[in-house]
């Protein structure tokens, strides 16, 4: 008898009815792919504002818990939609890292503290509502976002994320043992396991390759802790725990249940924060258009419709305003998961919804969140290298959907040259006016997107 394929073909259709036993692991690997990235921006910005310890320690824990709950709820809104809000596209939503540069600049300008964080929340509420309005009028604006523009944005997203993936591969840039042999070997091991499962004949295991690699990484890190030293000593004589060690104390110290707190930080409305953040929301809208375009091309082999793009952008905006009410940074489409969808071709809404429900559970049951949050960075890096490279390929596919005319080549070349160049070397803007640094200094995605849009408007179109 011919061997039956364990993975249902419904996994590769958006509205297909997928068995729960298959939907759960497929959804869980999305959570594992974005979990650390969903929490990292909050850790960075609360630290910059001086809310990382002391009297604010409990507040930071509450914000991290809220971040998981909000990501799950906003993802469900994106998947199923309420009226025009939500694109009904296979996108996972989460705390955006694209705003880190802008928020850091706002913190420097306003001096930090709880009032500065409140101003960031106020700016996020206003900016989110602004993006929602922008999404409602996206159809007449779509002519500014042809595939050469959205493809350039997707490509710049992928290129910028590869550096993040490689940083995790080495154990995380903040690790004392960054780039150690143990971290590199653990990342390579995870990558090899993913490749083995990705190209095995069993379609279910192939589509769950990221999850299999991460589980194997947990097991390998646990075994390493039995045979290798788990601590080291710096040149100054200070002891430290190595980055690949599984910290089970996070799970032990986490409570079983906690109710998320609404508005843990009172919003403050200050133009010093609102002005730069609103500009960033425009770029976020373009990035979301690029993410949705990338996931539809990479996962469903078709272009996104006007309704899907408009609903997706409106969900981005309203989701960000909703997140700010819980003290969480803006929630936008997660490019990591776009890479996962394009790599596995699993676009099933029910599978992604199980991942979103797990995030909601993590927001209510901190022990579940702690179990995932203790993932070694090297394990995440081994998976991220594969996923982020898939985003680059999706961007190339979008760009090449149209003929590579001299005009299109100029748009891609100049936008990527400036965008990726500034993203790789933000110090080049050190003498620029502050508003330029606020807009362009945080991420190469921002200048790449704006330059691509501008050139698409200014360069004369070739006659057909």
Note the pLDDT of residue 6: 63
The string of pLDDT tens digits covering residues 110-145 is 888 899 999 999 999 999 999 999 998 888 877 887
pTM: 0.74
Helix%, strand%, coil% for the chain, nearest 5: 70, 5, 30
Q: Quick check: is 2 in a domain?
A: no
Q: Which residues contact 307 (CB under 8 A, 6 or more apart)?
A: 87
Domain that holds residue 295: 13-395+403-458
pLDDT of residue 76: 95
User: Is position 78 within any domain?
Assistant: yes
pLDDT score, position 438: 65
Q: How many domains does the chain have?
A: 1
Per-residue pLDDT, averaged over 56-61, amounts to 73
Q: What is the pLDDT of residue 414?
A: 92
Instruction: Spell out where 4-125 has E strands.
Output: 93-95
Tokens of 381: 């890096």
CB atoms within 10 A of CB 410: 12
Mean pLDDT of 72-84: 93
Average pLDDT over residues 260-285: 84
Residue 364 falls within a domain, yes or no? yes
* pLDDT (0 to 100) of residue 118: 93
464: in domain: no
C-alpha to C-alpha distance for 39 and 221, rounded to whole angstroms: 22
> Has residue 351 been placed in a domain?
yes
Q: Residue 327: inside a domain, yes or no? A: yes
**pLDDT exceeds cutoff 60 at 270:** yes
Q: What is the pLDDT of residue 131?
A: 93
Q: How many CB atoms lie within 10 A of CB 389?
A: 17
Average pLDDT over residues 193-205: 82
Question: In what helix (H) or strand (E) does residue 99 lie, and over which residues does it extend?
Answer: none
- pLDDT exceeds 50 at position 4: no
Distance of alpha carbon 419 from alpha carbon 406, whole angstroms: 19
52 vs 241 pLDDT, higher one: 241
pLDDT for the residue 369 = 67
The DSSP code for 248 is T
Residue 3 lies in a domain: no
Q: Is the pLDDT of residue 3 over 60?
A: no
Residue 207 pLDDT more than 80? no
User: What six digits make up the tokens of 197?
Assistant: 């499962």
Helix, strand or coil, per DSSP, at residue 333: strand
Strand boundaries in 227-298, DSSP class E: 231-233, 239-241
List Cβ neighbours of 409 (8 Å cut-off, separation of 6 or more). none
User: Quick one: which of 367, 338, 365 has its CA closest to 78?
Assistant: 338
User: CB-based burial of residue 188 (10 Å sphere; 0-12 exposed, 13-18 middle, 19+ buried)?
Assistant: middle
Least confident of 64-73, 121-130, 423-432, 453-462: 423-432
Within-domain flag for 7: no
User: How many Å from the N-terminal Cα to the C-terminal Cα in the chain?
Assistant: 55
Query: What average pLDDT score do residues 245-249 get?
Result: 80
Does residue 244 sit in helix, strand or coil?
coil
């Amino acid at each position: 008898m011919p061997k039956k394929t364990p993975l249902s073909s419904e996994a590769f259709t958006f509205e297909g009815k997928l068995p729960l036993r298959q939907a759960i692991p497929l959804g869980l690997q999305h959570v594992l792919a974005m979990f650390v990235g969903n929490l990292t921006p909050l850790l960075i910005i609360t630290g910059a504002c001086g809310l990382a310890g002391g009297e604010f320690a409990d507040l930071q824990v509450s914000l991290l818990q809220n971040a998981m709950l909000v990501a799950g709820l906003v993802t469900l809104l994106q998947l199923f939609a309420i009226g025009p809000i939500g694109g009904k596209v296979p996108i996972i939503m989460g705390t955006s890292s694209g705003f880190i540069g802008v928020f850091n600049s706002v913190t420097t300008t306003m001096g930090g503290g709880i009032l500065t964080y409140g101003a960031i929340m106020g700016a996020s509420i206003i900016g989110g509502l602004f993006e929602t309005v922008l999404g409602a009028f996206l159809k007449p604006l779509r002519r500014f976002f042809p595939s050469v523009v959205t493809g350039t944005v997707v490509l710049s997203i992928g290129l910028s994320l590869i550096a993040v993936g490689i940083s995790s591969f080495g154990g995380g840039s903040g690790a004392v043992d960054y780039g150690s042999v143990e971290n590199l070997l653990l990342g390579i091991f995870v990558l090899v396991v993913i490749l083995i499962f990705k190209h095995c004949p069993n379609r279910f295991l192939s589509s769950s390759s990221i999850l299999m690699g991460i589980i194997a990484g947990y097991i390998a890190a646990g075994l390493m802790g039995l045979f290798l030293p788990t601590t080291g000593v710096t040149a100054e004589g200070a002891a430290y725990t190595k980055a690949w060690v599984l910290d089970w104390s996070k799970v032990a110290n986490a409570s079983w249940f906690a109710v998320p707190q609404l508005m843990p930080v009172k919003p403050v409305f200050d133009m010093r924060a609102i002005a730069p953040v609103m500009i960033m929301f425009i770029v976020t809208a373009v990035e979301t258009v690029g993410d949705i375009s990338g996931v539809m091309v990479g996962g469903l082999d078709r272009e996104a419709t006007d309704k899907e793009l408009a609903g997706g952008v409106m969900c981005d905006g309203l989701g960000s305003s909703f997140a700010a009410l819980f003290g969480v940074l803006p929630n936008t489409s997660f490019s990591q998961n776009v890479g996962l969808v394009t790599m596995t071709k699993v676009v099933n809404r029910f599978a992604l919804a199980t991942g979103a429900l797990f995030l909601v559970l993590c927001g209510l049951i901190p022990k579940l969140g702690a179990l995932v949050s203790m993932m070694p960075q090297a394990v995440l890096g081994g998976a991220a290298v594969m996923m982020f490279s898939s985003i680059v390929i999706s961007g190339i596919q979008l760009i090449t959907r149209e003929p590579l005319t001299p005009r299109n080549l100029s748009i891609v070349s100049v936008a990527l040259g400036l965008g990726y160049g500034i993203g790789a070397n933000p110090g080049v803007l050190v003498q620029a006016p502050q508003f330029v640094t606020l807009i362009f200094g945080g991420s190469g995605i921002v200048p790449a997107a704006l330059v691509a849009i501008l050139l698409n408007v200014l360069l004369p179109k070739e006659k057909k």
